[in-house]
Amino acid sequence: MMLALIAAHFVAAAAAPVLVAWLHRRAFLVLALVPAVAFGWAVAMTSRVAGHGASAIEEQVAWVRTLGLELSFRLTTLSWVMMLLVTGVGALVLAYCAYYFRPGDGDLWRFSGLLTGFAGAMLGLVLADDLIVLYIFWELTTVLSYLLIGHNPERKANRRAAMQALMVTTFGGLAMLIGIVIVGQRAGTYQISAVLADPPAGDAITAAVVLLLVGAISKSALVPFHFWLPGAMAAPTPVSAYLHAAAMVKAGVYLVALFAPAFAGLMPWRPLLLVLGVVTMLLGGLRALRQHDLKLLLAYGTVSQLGFLVVLVGAGTRAAALAGVAMLVAHALFKASLFLIVGIVDRAAGTRDLRELSGLGRRMPVLLWASVLAAASMAAVPPLAGFVAKETVYAAFVDIAETGDGTGIGSAAGWTLVAGLSAGSALTVAYSARFVWGAFAVKPDVPPIGECRMPVAGFAAAPVALALACLALGLVGPAETELLEPYAEQFPPGTHEAELSLWHGVNTPLLLSVLAVALGLAVHWRRDLVARVQERLAPRADAESGYRAIMRAVDRLAVEVTGTTQRGSLPIYLAVIFVVVVAVPGSTLLAGQVWDGDVHAWDTPAQAVVVAVMVAGAVAAARSRRRLKAVVLAGVTGYGMAMLFILHGAPDLALTQVLVETVTLVIFVLVLRRLPPYFSDRPLTSLRWWRLGLGGLVGLVMAGLALAASGARVAEPVSEGFAEPAVSYGGGHNIVNVTLVDIRAWDTMGEISVLVVAATGVASLIFLITGRTGRWRADEAIANAPPARAAVGRRVHRNVWLRAGRTLAPERRSIMFEVVTRLVFHVIVVFSIYLLFAGHNAPGGGFAGGLVAGLALMVRYLAGGRHELNEAAPVDAGLVLGIGLFIATGSGLVPLALGGDVLQSAVVDITMPLLGHIHFVTSLFFDVGVYIVVVGLMLDVLRSLGGGIDRQSVDDEDVESLEPAEGVR
Amino acid sequence: MSANLTLVALVGVLFAAGVYLLLERSLTRVLIGVILIGNGVNTLFLVASGRAGRAPIVGLNEVDEMSDPLPQALVLTAIVITLGVTAFLLAMAYRAGQLHEHDDVQDDVEDAVIRRRAERDEASSTYDDSAGGTMDEEGADEPAGVGSGGSASPGAGPGRQVGPEGESR
């Protein structure tokens, strides 16, 4: 059920844009139903997970089995409280959005989805019972918060605030991830309940817990990470109410509360959290008193309260834990209510600046009273929820100060803590008063708000409901105590039994409460004086400027590192790689005895002759200054390779090598037409000797590697056993071909995919300008071609050797070539198909066949030009490539459907009437796919590097012939 | 196993010539370097695949006399892939020639800009540590001046050319 509820949020989030398009603002009311249902479920579960005799509800779904990762969720008393807050406030805020936004507001489709998705992520976070799952939801809330803060990216300040929140909370999140991994590895499980039941210990765990706390205090905006939260006020007010008051910032508090029973006794836990918490509480309170924007006032108030909450749940005593959770609930209720009220004030009066607001209380009495209730709860005035919680807080900390209450905190430190909390509470009272006064009071020196749009009932419903909840919760303290007890009972029993109640009698806590309220009201009374003192004492440097300094340092470091390592020169990068090749494998070769010294000069003397020619070719190719010469010399080494293959006993390789070499030569020539005949002159510098030296060294290393490789050939080759299965299972006698299409078909699959990519790359480079689409029919071009000169005055001969031949200029035509082409084209194509079919038993196969078919097309192109190519193959090359890949993939997948493995082959023997006995192997279909892919590649290359370049040349000539004409004009 | 010295020497020469060409700037030479290195790798396979033998076709030759078929299958795919790479690099060379009248690989201009920034101890062009500006869920920054204490935002004014690294040109 828990997983279903979380998933429902994400489904709703995905559907939100559609809903918004259909229902506009009212879509929020529909979306609010999802968290409302979750809230209802949580309420229904009350008796099972809270109160006396509670137990946890668990749910587990296997997720990534190999990592042992489970989607495990667990509803305990603590997560039940959080779930009620997240879903309850979530539903109210979503409903509030329906009135908050104006009909014309843009980007609601995005906003609605993000906010609903956030509710789901937050729910997942509080329910997760697996540390990794918790972390994933944790970061999900971070990202969604970033997107929601940046709701209006038009303003630079908003973008900066969003980025700042993202950086700070992600930093904390990553620290937390390290902590999670350490805890998980030490505990041997990532399940939170298991870790809590049997907490691991040791120095590593201490470090891990500190890292977890870094995550918690960054998320909950404690000093020194507090500055991101006021920045988050760039978000729309409902977001501030939900994410940055009620839900997301509580994630850190939740984490502390979750792990406090297990880890509160560890050394850095209490000093870290209690000191940072109190400092945050005081700093936030002081800052809140300086704000004029009501929203910022509340934001700093939230910072202050978060510090307070972390002190409570981090103290690790039973009373403090009970008080902490009660305060957590109270804070969510009053702070969300106050934020929503600010939203209404902003919409009604058009400003949130308390220096401009005056007399609003008279116009909106309901809102005034709602905010009085909420602010009084914040200020801990009886009989509200805040008061009940704070009484227990004082009781808990007076216990700590008097007896230590099992925490080991000394008396002096304890009383300092109590004093800090009391001072913080006084500040809370002061800014609570400042809020109500600022928003609603009549200020003598400010003109009253004139034009004012009264909120409709639905708009005010959410904050009023939350404010009333503050009141209701204050009255049911004992019942709340009983519900929360299962959480508090995880801690050892304290000096006194804590109870949430309106009246404990006259004691120290009550005195402290009275003192705090009196002091707070006094501060508000003398607010001008306080403001002047703060003005004078305000520090010049703050945490935010520290953050900016760090970010700048990181940026500078990045520039320096990039500037040093990224030289932007291809030769330098390659040289670095080759130096590594020489240094690492080279030194290994020298160091290790990898070669046994057994050599023979050659297998056959013919090898020596071929190699001598190839060496000469390679050296001459490297020295050549002329493009064509270099290409032809490189071709010499290529044909030499074919000879070596034959001498080695590899006819398939020799065949393929000859075909590839021929194709390579032709396409080189096609491209070199359009490049300068000589390589550009470069000064002969010492660099050349460096290159030569590096080349020589790499050559030596590779030669050494070759020696080592043949020395390493001591085991029985894998392929020793290929011969027999090749025939019996693969159904072919040519072992190389069977290897390609059957034994190692996955390699071939990858290879033809590479070919498709390469062909697409070629086409996109050439057709960048001219566009690839077009009709691949030559009819029009042939019809438009000027009639041959010889034909003038004579009867046009219908039977020509190549139809598109006449599209070529007469001086470029060769009748002999056309005749020969006409005669051999079909023969070559038939031969290519023969190679394809014969390849399984004799040299040949899909690659060779495809290359031969490609050569046939090439001959047509060379004889008759690009239109003749279209005449020969009136299809798009991409289509051919696609069909080939489709057939190859399909033939690989079909066995899967028949219960076999991918790319499995079978020998089929059928006797059909008329045709007689048919014997074939299903891997033939795979080879057909290969064949078609290679043909597609060839067609693509010819059309791009041949026809495409032709067309661009013609266009260039047209431009050149036009230019003088324009010059005359 | 015994090593074939002739082929070992060929591997060395093909790699040396290939690397020498690969470190050049002309794309055509780089491409020829790639082809030579490709041939060198295939030769390496020959060296590593043992002694020469007869074609690995069952029925035609005795299994004991055959050359090793597995490296041959690997080399066959390598040959065809080299063709694909060659075509792609050729297209790139052609494109470079079309744009620059030559096919030399130039140094990356962006990297030079970053290097200059590093020398001048500057932050990156996208870095902005200006404070101020108004946060609000509605409205936009005023077009001129507001909230830009540091470097100018790209495209700040019409008619002013701003380079990719935020430098005026």
pLDDT in tens, A650-701: 999 999 999 999 999 999 998 888 888 888 766 667 788 889 999 999 999 9
Residue B112: list chain A partners with CB under 8 A: 568
DSSP string computed for A700-714: HHHHHHHHHHHHTTT
Contact A755 B80 (CB under 8 A): yes
Q: Which two tokens stand for residue A669?
A: 């020539």
Q: At what angle do helices A411-440 and A294-315 cross, to 10 degrees?
A: 160
* Mean pLDDT of the region A318-322: 94
Which of A564, A640, A675 is opposite residue B28, by nearest beta carbon?
A675
Residue A947 DSSP label: I
Q: How many residue pairs bridge chain A and chain B with CB atoms within 8 Å of each other? A: 411
Residue B164: list chain A partners with CB under 8 A: none
- Asked if residue A7 has pLDDT above 60, the reply is yes
Which residue(s) pair with A916 in the sheet? A912
Tell me the residue type at A540.
R
Residues in chain B: 169
Residue B104 DSSP label: B
Residue B7: list chain A partners with CB under 8 A: 602, 607, 611, 644, 706
Q: What is the pTM of this model?
A: 0.74
CA distance B159 to A557: 33
pLDDT at residue A232, rounded to an integer:
92
Q: What percent of chain A has pLDDT above 70?
A: 94
Assess contact for A59 and A48: CB atoms under 8 A.
Answer: no
Of the candidate ranges A136-145, A622-631, B97-106, the one whose mean pLDDT is the lowest = B97-106
Q: Give the number of C-alpha atoms closer than 13 A to the C-alpha of residue A120, restricted to the C-beta side.
A: 23
* Mean pLDDT of the region A795-814: 68
pLDDT at residue B145, rounded to an integer:
44
pLDDT at residue A641, rounded to an integer:
95
- Asked if residue B150 has pLDDT above 50, the reply is no
How many angstroms separate the CA of residue B159 from the nearest CA in chain A? 22
* Mean pLDDT of the region B35-49: 93
pLDDT at residue A774, rounded to an integer:
52
- Asked if residue A407 has pLDDT above 50, the reply is yes
Assess contact for A41 and A59: CB atoms under 8 A.
Answer: no
pLDDT at residue A105, rounded to an integer:
81
pLDDT at residue A968, rounded to an integer:
42
DSSP string computed for A27-43: HHHHHHHHHHHHHHHHH
Which of B16, B26, B63 is opposite residue A696, by nearest beta carbon?
B16
CA distance A39 to A385: 20
Identify the CA nearest to B76 among candidates A386, A1, A738: A738
CA distance A682 to A167: 49
How does residue B49 score in pLDDT terms, banded at 50, 70 and 90? confident
- Sign of the torsion angle spanned by Cα atoms A429, A435, A438, A440: negative
CA distance A922 to A902: 12
Which residue(s) pair with A371 in the sheet? none
The answer to whether residue A751 neighbours chain B at the CB level (below 8 Å) is yes
pLDDT at residue A377, rounded to an integer:
95
Mutation site, A102, A648, A657, A689, interface B, largest B CB count within 10 A: A648
CA distance B36 to A269: 65
Assess contact for A752 and A884: CB atoms under 8 A.
Answer: yes
Q: Which two tokens stand for residue A921?
A: 């192997």
Put residue A814 in one of left, alpha, beta given phi > 0 → left and psi -120 to 50 → alpha. beta
Of the candidate ranges A590-604, A775-789, B11-25, the one whose mean pLDDT is the lowest = A775-789
The number of helix segments (H) and strand segments (E) in chain A equals: 38, 5
Residue B88: list chain A partners with CB under 8 A: 758, 761-762, 765
Contact B6 A599 (CB under 8 A): no
Q: Are strands B3-4 and A599-600 parallel, antiparallel or unpaired?
A: parallel
Q: Cα Rg for chain B, rounded, in angstroms?
A: 28
pLDDT at residue A716, rounded to an integer:
81
Q: Are strands A907-912 and A69-75 parallel, antiparallel or unpaired?
A: unpaired
> Which distant-in-sequence residues (6+ apart) come within 8 Å of B118 by Cβ?
A559, A560, A562, A563, A564
pLDDT greater at residue A595 or residue A897:
A897
Q: At what angle do helices A77-100 and A27-44 cross, to 10 degrees?
A: 160
Residue A695: list chain B partners with CB under 8 A: 15-20, 23
How does residue A369 score in pLDDT terms, banded at 50, 70 and 90? very high
- Asked if residue A270 has pLDDT above 50, the reply is yes
Contact A759 B84 (CB under 8 A): yes
pLDDT at residue A288, rounded to an integer:
94
Identify the CA nearest to A94 among candidates A150, A141, A34: A34
Of the candidate ranges A299-313, A519-533, A824-838, B125-139, the one whose mean pLDDT is the lowest = B125-139
pLDDT at residue B32, rounded to an integer:
94
Specify the residue for token string 């808990």.
A396
Assess contact for A654 and B49: CB atoms under 8 A.
Answer: no
How does residue A965 score in pLDDT terms, banded at 50, 70 and 90? very low
Nearest residue of chain A to residue B58 (CA atoms): A733
The answer to whether residue A64 neighbours chain B at the CB level (below 8 Å) is no
* Mean pLDDT of the region A754-782: 73
Classify residue A719 as exposed, middle or buried by CB count within 10 Å of its CB (0-12, 13-18, 19+). buried
CA distance B109 to B123: 18
Q: pLDDT digits over A625-634, tens only?
A: 888 999 999 9
* Mean pLDDT of the region A355-363: 89
How does residue A768 score in pLDDT terms, banded at 50, 70 and 90? low
Contact A660 B83 (CB under 8 A): yes
Mutation site, B1, B13, B74, B109, interface A, largest A CB count within 10 A: B13
Q: Are strands A599-600 and A907-912 parallel, antiparallel or unpaired?
A: unpaired
pLDDT at residue A182, rounded to an integer:
95
The answer to whether residue A650 neighbours chain B at the CB level (below 8 Å) is yes
Identify the CA nearest to A303 among candidates A322, A324, A321, A286: A286
CA distance A175 to A746: 42
How does residue B144 score in pLDDT terms, banded at 50, 70 and 90? very low
CA distance A711 to A907: 39
Residue A452 DSSP label: -
* Domain boundaries along the sequence of chain A: 2-538, 550-591, 605-680, 727-787+800-969
pLDDT at residue A488, rounded to an integer:
92
Residues in chain A: 969
Q: Are strands A69-75 and A57-64 parallel, antiparallel or unpaired?
A: antiparallel
> Which distant-in-sequence residues (6+ apart) come within 8 Å of A279 by Cβ?
A223, A307
CA distance A870 to A872: 5
Q: Which two tokens stand for residue B40?
A: 């060198």
> Is residue B143 reached through a cis peptide bond, with omega within 30 degrees of 0 on the bond before it?
no
ipTM of this predicted structure: 0.79
Assess contact for A694 and B14: CB atoms under 8 A.
Answer: no
* Mean pLDDT of the region B49-76: 85
Element (H, E) at A886: helix A877-897
* Mean pLDDT of the region A747-769: 86
How many angstroms separate the CA of residue A247 from the nearest CA in chain B? 20
The answer to whether residue A753 neighbours chain B at the CB level (below 8 Å) is no
Tell me the residue type at A157.
A
pLDDT at residue B148, rounded to an integer:
42
- Asked if residue A233 has pLDDT above 80, the reply is yes
CA distance A329 to A338: 14
Contact B58 A237 (CB under 8 A): no
DSSP string computed for A488-547: HTTSPP-SS-----S---SSHHHHHHHHHHHHHHHHHHTHHHHHHHHHHH--S--HHHHH
Tell me the residue type at B115.
R
CB atoms within 10 A of CB A908: 12
Q: Which two tokens stand for residue B112?
A: 């030079």
Tell me the residue type at A317.
T
Q: Which two tokens stand for residue A595?
A: 């070669």
How many angstroms separate the CA of residue A389 from the nearest CA in chain B? 34
pLDDT at residue B130, rounded to an integer:
73
pLDDT at residue A778, rounded to an integer:
63
Q: At what angle do helices A543-565 and B109-119 cross, to 10 degrees?
A: 130
What three-state secondary structure class fits A353?
strand
Contact B53 A555 (CB under 8 A): no
pLDDT at residue A701, rounded to an integer:
94
pLDDT greater at residue A346 or residue A914:
A346
Q: pLDDT digits over A13-67, tens only?
A: 999 999 999 998 999 999 999 999 999 999 999 999 988 888 899 999 888 888 7
- Asked if residue A376 has pLDDT above 90, the reply is yes
Q: Which two tokens stand for residue A41?
A: 């479920």
Put residue A796 in one of left, alpha, beta given phi > 0 → left and psi -120 to 50 → alpha. beta
Nearest residue of chain B to residue A745 (CA atoms): B73
Q: Which two tokens stand for residue A894?
A: 């079909």
Residue B150: list chain A partners with CB under 8 A: none
Put residue A565 in one of left, alpha, beta given phi > 0 → left and psi -120 to 50 → alpha. alpha
Residue B95: list chain A partners with CB under 8 A: 765-766, 768
Which of B114, B130, B135 is opposite residue A562, by nearest beta carbon?
B114
Identify the CA nearest to A323 among candidates A395, A393, A384: A393
Nearest residue of chain B to residue A544 (CA atoms): B131
pLDDT greater at residue A715 or residue A84:
A84
CA of residue A164 relative to chain centroid, distance: 19
How does residue A323 score in pLDDT terms, banded at 50, 70 and 90? very high
pLDDT at residue A504, rounded to an integer:
83
Assess contact for B47 and B36: CB atoms under 8 A.
Answer: no
